[in-house]
Amino acid sequence: MRPPRAQQLLVTALAVLVAAYILAPFAWIALSSIQPEKELFSVPPHWVPRILTGDNYRFIFTGKFPAGFAETGLLRGRISEKARDALPALRNSTIVALTVAMANLVLGVVAAYSFSRLKFRGAGALYTFVLASRLLPPMALAIPYYLIVARLGLLDRYGALILIHSAVTLPFTVWFLSVYFRRVPPDMEEAALVDGCTRLQVLVRIVAPVAAPALAAAAAFAFMFSYNDFPFALFVTSTIRSQTIPVIVSATAVNTDVSFGVVAVTVVLTMLPPVAFALLFRHYITRGLITVVTTR
Amino acid sequence: MIRRYFALASGLLALTLVVCAVAVAAAPTQLTFTVWSYSNDVVQDNIQKFQARNPGITVALSDFDWGKFTDVMTARFVGKTSTDVSYSSDHWLQQWAAANWIVPLDDYFPQVAAYKPDFAPYAIEGMTYNGKLYGLPYYADTEIFIYNEDLLKRAGFSTPPVTWDDVTKMAVAMKQKKIVEYPLMFQFQDITPDYIEIFLSMVYSHKNPSMFDKTLTPTYDSESSAAHKVARWLVDGFRTTKIINPASLETTEIPLVKAMGAGQVAFAVLPKYNLADLNTPGAHAQAGKFKMALMPGETHGTVGYVRFYAMTKMAADRGKEVRDASWKFLDYFGGKTGGEFTVVKRWALEKGLGFAQLPLYKDPQVRAAINKWGNVTLEEQQAKLARAKEALTPFWGSWSLEFQKEMNKALLGQETPLQALQASAAKWKEMKK
Amino acid sequence: MSWKARETRYAYATVLPVVVLVALFTVYPVGYAVSTSLREVVLYRPASTPFVGFKNYLDIVRGDFFATAWGHTLTFTLFAVALATILGFGVAHLLRVRSRIASFLNAAVLLPWAIPTVISGILWAWIFNSTYGAFNGALYSLGLISSYIPWLSRPTSALFCVLFAHIWKELPLTSILYVAALQAIPDELYDAARADGAGVLATLRRITIPLVLPTTLIVVIYESMVAIVTFDLLYVMTGGGPAGATSLISYYIYNRMFTSYNFGQGAALAVILALSLIVFILVYLRVLSSEDVYRE
């Protein structure tokens, strides 16, 4: 039975409203990235851009100044050169986030499986760790984390970020997946064990394929957390060798020579990897979440 | 036979020792240099040139977000991560020096005294703690009064304001003639470090500007103080004549410059390098119309600040070689090479940054470059009238945020200007204990 | 070796790496925070850091910012949690409708999740800007206002702008959690209710809301934790202003540590915050567990 017309219209209207709320900032930033700087400050804004330009993108990719920025009589012109670090930073962010996701998949899955299937003390401690690792605000954690990483000699290296991000995301991954695993009936695993498989073989050959949605969801959460982290990345990175994209965008945005058009380009570039990741994995995320939120 | 072998052996040994000695002597000294991210490519180029002149020294550059610079450096110093030379600033010198993170150059390099006559007095004061000099200037600048000449002319005025009453008069005229709704805007966000400097600039343009006495007790919370005059003028402009944009409470330096560049602001108090930015054709719609004027007020005084190169305690402790290398570095970047302040001059020509090294005002290249976007005569004049911020202490940063918050309460009408000044003075006394 | 012993060895081998890593990054910071909070540690007075017991805690609690900061934090958290939960619940219903716009929305709703918080702060500060912002521009172009409004310069509207940006960031997660929860409710229950003549509201009250209660618990706990420690967004958008109107406890932790250089007080405040979070969570669990939640 199709719902009444009025109800359909109401639902559509609400959906459009929500879509506008979600997408408006992205539309604004995307449009700002292809307009010359001066256009961005008109009152009211030019909703349909009057002048389009690739200058901002060209500056990030090649270093050529947008039109008019070099004409002050100054030998160098004024524009935030830090923005040119955006591409290497994007590479850093993506590599670190993917590694953290992998670490969660390997270490987290194996640990979660052991938690759910094998009898040993520590389940209570697990729950405590999951919550405890989120109780202290990042500001209070920054210095101790910095000290740990410094002592390990990992400052300004991918290792620092991978270590910190994994330490923060693993508790959630292990909890999330162990809840999921407990939901899976153990019959097939029992049979395989009787046949002589080790626990690890059972995990890899039987359980993991079935639990793929949950694994993908856990990997996605870990990726997002690592990619979006700012407070920890800020402290433990010091050169473009390891500086991540949030660090670069923030540093660009506070420079006095900042061009908002160029900042807009860095924001657009920032979004590309995680948006691609999120869109690819969204079905898995929902399916993974379903089982977990309905399990006790 | 044996004698010949012996001679050969000793010859080889001697040769080996010489080669080793040369190798050891040639092992480069590594310096770590921390900066905030501004024109890193220029900094790197300067480093290359320095290394070319000093083959025994290599410099590794680390750069951080300007807004978070002190936070990250705090972690670095607390964690004792190797840092040898660093950017620093007058408004946190007290904290870094008292924490023993950076060292007085006077103690290690007496030759630095030779530079003092060349530096502007406000810069020397800004780099001095407990009577000792802690750095060589990277750049120094003054807060200046910038106006949009076009808007001024349209309101019927041909010369910029000379007193704060002039400013009010002209702003009211602009508002009434509907030329611009809020002719004035300030960077008065609660926690922006520029706020207090702007306020102090306005205070220093009055007679009897001192806010503290010799024992560092606040004197500005009295009815007759210059600070009170400024506070009353601001509240008046905010709430009565409405010539000051109420959005000032959310504004920091960059949004203010963007708004001014778009023609929404006629008068502003900003660090001078913003004049070069505002007159950049590609960046602002109104580029070319901005001029500087001496700070309005009886004395035309203003605040001068300095950012400088400092040497860390860690470097000082690493031994003579590192100290010597650090001095060569400081001397190259903040001092003279071949009789000229090369690096400072480069910043002035390439980026329009101000400088504390006064001889550069005689350089015709520098004068011509400045005149393209500013007014070098006025700039020199303003620099002579600039004062360093008074009463800098390790808790000055903390106090300034309280001052700003209380001033904003007055601007919102939650308390009177005098109450705001008294509240922050009370906080100062508490922190001083 | 017996099969049991081999299994136990496998269990510990798979779990220990994760536990050790997480413990390092949980136990050390907590220990650091607690031990620092019990000493007077002021960085520009490095000569002495004496043990002072609870002095830092008392100084904090007696400080005049403490009460107001808690007031602001609780206000912000209350609104943030309520809005994130209710809107997430509502949007989840929209996402489950079968229509083209709903499937578009399903993809779009993930986007705010894919962006670092500090960048969303920069973005929203730009949008709400009172001179050239898109929000003012939109209202002006639609004829709703005659001149731009300084949203972030007035205490009340500043708080709402920050909430607007905060909810925008949190909506992806809460709505997807609720989609998962709603999907788990069997259709037969709704059919039966409709057959009994129950209206929309009654269905919501009797069936939907009670059955998603476990998810609501998760959402409320998680959103509270996020709201109470929120820092980056506020710092960038308002700097805690105007006149301290949006200064939360998390800002004061930063202020104590990095502006006043008083690590002792900063650590004490962080510990107080962590303890408060534990209390909140326990309260939530008590209140929401008193319902007959775990029916399966």
Does C49 lie at the interface with B, CB-CB under 8 angstroms? no
Could you tell me the maximum CA-CA distance found in chain B, to the nearest angstrom? 110
Mean local confidence (pLDDT), C162-170: 97
Q: Which residue has the higher pLDDT, A180 or C157?
A: C157
**pLDDT tier, C7 (very low <50, low <70, confident <90, very high otherwise):** confident
Alpha-carbon distance A236 to B270, whole Å? 33
What is the length of chain B? 433
Q: Is the pLDDT score of B18 beyond 70?
A: no
User: How much is the average pLDDT of C281-296?
Assistant: 63
Question: What does the mean pLDDT of chain A come to?
Answer: 88
Percent with pLDDT over 70 in chain C: 97
Mean pLDDT of B112-141: 96
Nearest Cα to Cα of residue C38 among C17, C19, C58: C58
Note the pLDDT tens digit of each residue in B186-232: 999 999 999 999 999 999 999 999 999 999 999 999 999 999 999 99
User: Both B262 and B114 in a single domain?
Assistant: no
Q: Which of residues 93-122 of C touch A (CB under 8 A)?
A: 94, 97, 99, 101-102, 104-120, 122
Query: Domain for residue B379, yes or no?
Result: yes
Q: Are residues B351 and B375 in the same domain?
A: no
- In this structure, whether the domain defined by C53-295 belongs to CATH 3.40.50.360 is answered with no
How far is residue B348 from each of residues A63, A110, B383, measured CA to CA in Å? 22, 60, 15
- Both tokens of A184, joined, read 């899976």
Residue type, C61: V
In a domain, B363, yes or no: no
Mark whether B80 and B106 lie in a shared domain.
yes
- Looking at residue C292, what is its pLDDT? 45
Count of structural domains within chain B: 2
pLDDT at B389 over 90: yes
What is the tens place of the pLDDT at every residue in B150-168?
Answer: 999 999 999 999 999 999 9
Where residue B147 falls among pLDDT bands split at 50, 70, 90? very high
What residues make up the domain containing B336? Answer: 8-139+307-356
One-letter identity of residue B58: T
Rounded Cα distance between B33 and A39, Å, is: 38
**Each residue of B44-85: pLDDT tens digit?**
999 999 999 999 999 999 999 999 999 999 999 999 999 999
| CB within 8 Å of C230: residues ≥ 6 apart | C76, C80, C166, C248, C250
- B chain contacts of residue C261, beta-carbon cutoff 8 Å: 74, 95, 99, 394
- What are the two backbone dihedrals, phi and then psi, of residue A92, each rounded to the nearest 5 degrees? -60, -50
Could you tell me which residues come within 8 angstroms of residue A199 by beta carbon, excluding any fewer than 6 positions away? A113, A114, A117, A118, A193, C7, C10
Please state, as a whole number, how many other Cβ atoms lie within 10 Å of the Cβ of residue A283: 13
Residues A130-141 as b or e (16 or more Cβ within 10 Å = b)? bbbbbbbbbbbb
The CATH number that applies at residue B189 is 3.40.190.10
What tokens does C243 get? 């006149």
Question: Can you give the C-alpha Rg of chain C in angstroms?
Answer: 24
Asked whether residue B375 is domain-assigned, the answer is: yes
Of B141-145, B328-332, C92-96, least confident by mean pLDDT is C92-96
Whether residue B232 is found in the same domain as residue B317:
no
Residues constituting chain A = 296
pLDDT of residue C296: 34
> Which helix or strand (DSSP H or E) is residue B303 part of?
strand B302-311
Q: Is the confidence at residue C148, as pLDDT, over 60?
A: yes
* Residue A275: per-residue pLDDT: 86
Specify the DSSP class assigned to residue B28.
P
Residue A227 in contact with residue A248, Cβ under 8 Å?
no
CA gap B279, A153 in Å, rounded: 46
* The pLDDT of residue A72 is above 80: no
- Backbone dihedral region for residue A236 (phi beyond 0: left; psi -120 to 50: alpha; all else: beta): alpha
Residue B362 in domain? no
Annotated domain spans of chain C:
1-37, 53-295
Q: Give the chains touching B; criterion: ≥3 Cβ pairs < 8 Å.
A: A, C
- C130: closest chain B residue by CA: B247
**Is B202 found in the same domain as B110?**
no
Same domain, B179 and B223: yes
The two structure tokens encoding residue B122? 């406000």
To the nearest whole percent, how much of chain B has pLDDT over 70?
95
In this prediction, residue B1 has a pLDDT band, given cuts at 50, 70 and 90, of: low
pLDDT recorded at residue B183: 97
Q: What digits encode the pLDDT tens for the residues C220-243? A: 988 998 999 899 999 999 999 899
pLDDT at A73: 64
Q: Look at the alpha carbons of C156, C158, C164, C169 in this order and tell me if their dihedral is positive or negative.
A: negative
Nearest-CA distance C251 → chain B (Å): 11
Q: How confident is the model at residue C156 (pLDDT cuts 50, 70, 90)?
A: very high
C-alpha A118/C-alpha A241 separation (Å) is: 42
Residue of B37, B61, B86, B307 best to disrupt the A interface, most CBs of A under 10 A: B37
What average pLDDT score do residues A185-202 get?
82
**Which residue in C165, C181, C171 sits closest to C113, CA to CA?**
C171
Give ipTM to 2 decimals.
Answer: 0.91
- Choice between C13 and C255, residue whose per-residue pLDDT is larger: C255
Helix (H) or strand (E) holding C216: helix C213-228
Q: Closest to B250 (Cβ–Cβ): which among C132, C152, C261? A: C152
Q: In this structure, what are the phi and psi dihedrals at residue A211, rounded to the nearest 5 degrees?
A: -90, 15
d(CA C261, CA C267): 11
Average of pLDDT values for A266-272?
95
B52 and B130 together in one domain: yes
Using pLDDT thresholds of 50, 70 and 90, give the confidence band for residue C187: confident
Rounded to 5°, angle at Cα A37 from A34 and A38: 125
Q: What is the pLDDT of residue C4?
A: 76
Which residues in C lie closer than 8 A to residue A250 (C-beta atoms)?
A: 118-119, 122
Contact residues on chain B for A230, CB-CB shorter than 8 A: none
Inter-residue contact A221 to A172 (CB < 8 Å): yes
- DSSP H helical ranges for chain C: 3-37, 55-62, 64-95, 100-108, 117-127, 134-141, 155-183, 187-195, 200-203, 209-211, 213-228, 232-237, 249-254, 263-289
Note whether B264 and B161 are same-domain residues: yes
Q: What's residue C293's pLDDT?
A: 44
Q: Is the pLDDT of residue A3 over 70?
A: no
Q: Which residue has the higher pLDDT, B12 or A229?
A: A229
Contacts of A289 (CB under 8 A, 6+ apart): A217, C176, C177, C179, C180
Question: Which of A46, A62, A234, A257 should be substituted to probe chain B, the one whose Cβ sees the most B Cβ atoms within 10 Å?
Answer: A257
Residue A254: how many CA atoms within 13 Å on its side-chain side? Answer: 21
Q: Which residues pair with B140 in a beta bridge?
A: B306
pLDDT at C247 over 70: yes
With beta carbons less than 8 A apart as the criterion, state whether B163 and B298 touch: yes
Q: For residue C257, list chain A residues with Cβ-Cβ distance below 8 A.
A: 139-140, 143
Q: State yes or no: pLDDT of C295 exceeds 50.
A: no
